[in-house]
Amino acid sequence: MNGGGLKTDLDGLQALRDDPEAIRMFRNFISKTDPDTLAALNGGKAGGDMSPDMFKTASSMIGKMSSEEIQKMVQTASSFKGDNPG
């Protein structure tokens, strides 16, 4: 992933992390959208190869989380500076 894309992703997470309504809408969208549709939104790829089964697992997990849990997850993810050792 290029530096500009990473910055954009982090900016998006930072904007999302303090917006409970956006978190709730994200949770509802993910939990109600077909995994095949989610996979197709990014040409079948999301930061690498992510199969529809992986989307199904992730959307099921997100659908079971409270909005507060998702917000904590987003806050944690947005705190990373983007240094990727791999």
Q: Could you state, in order of their start, the residue ranges of all structural domains in the chain? A: 3-77
Residue 3 CB contacts under 8 Å (≥ 6 apart), including other chains: 82
24/73 Cα distance (integer angstroms): 13
Tokens of 70: 């998702």
CA–CA gap between residue 74 and residue 58 (Å, rounded)? 14
Residue 17, pLDDT score: 79
For the beta carbon of residue 30, count every other beta carbon within 10 angstroms: 19
- Tell me the per-residue pLDDT of 21-70, one tens digit each, with 9 for 90 and over: 988 888 888 888 887 787 777 664 545 567 778 878 888 888 889 988 98
| CB-CB contact of 24 with 67 (8 Å) | yes
Give pTM, 2 decimals: 0.62
pLDDT at 75 over 80: yes
Structure tokens at 39: 């996979």
